[in-house]
Amino acid sequence: MKNFINAVAVATLLAAVLCGCASYTWKSAVPEEYRTVAVPVFENRTNAAELGPITTQQLRRELQREGTFKLRRTGDAAIELQGSIVNVQRGALTYDRSLGTRANSYRYVVTAEVSIIDKKTGKVLVDNRKYAAETSFLTQNDLLTGQRNAAMRIGQDLGRQVVDDLVAWSFGSPKGKQATGAGKSR
């Protein structure tokens, strides 16, 4: 009798827990018609070499990794992410005493603006939203190589921020508001 009561209690508890999870889904909230995206090469309005293509490549990789969106050419995509690198700041963090005033590590901060365009209607869903990413890097007597390696990390960070916001975007809302819980720009 005691085993029967325990079994009924466990079954009731299990049923109550599962009822609460019945409406939960692993499916993305992004409507099917918006799941194809084009990402043209980011415009680089700075003097930092290769930053536009590196950021574009990392954003495309992040879109593929996340899995909600499929990359397409501009003419075949439902939405297009247009981006510009608008500001780059590099400042010395530490100095090598043996080299006098020569820095051996730097802080690297990049600011980008991203717009999301609905390719079906031509409507701008997001207009020049700012994103910022930063990292530090060692020069090891080669500033350009250190900066190039840092650019890859910057691109990854910017890509994650943009994709987080894109996944959280309320495509179906009449005002086109960003969903709550989205990644925020820094």
Phi (first) and psi of residue 45, to 5 degrees = -95, 20
Q: Could you tell me the residue ranges of all domains in the chain?
A: 29-168
Q: One digit per residue, pLDDT tens: the chain, 186 residues?
A: 777 777 767 667 766 666 655 555 566 778 888 899 999 999 999 998 889 999 999 999 999 999 999 999 988 999 999 999 999 998 888 887 776 777 888 899 999 999 999 998 999 989 999 999 999 888 877 878 888 888 999 999 999 999 999 998 877 655 555 543 334 444
What Å distances lie between residue 16 and 1, 4, 12, 155, CA to CA?
Answer: 23, 18, 6, 45
pTM of the model: 0.75
Does the domain at residues 29-168 carry the CATH identifier 3.30.160.150?
yes
Q: Which amino acid is at 54?
A: I
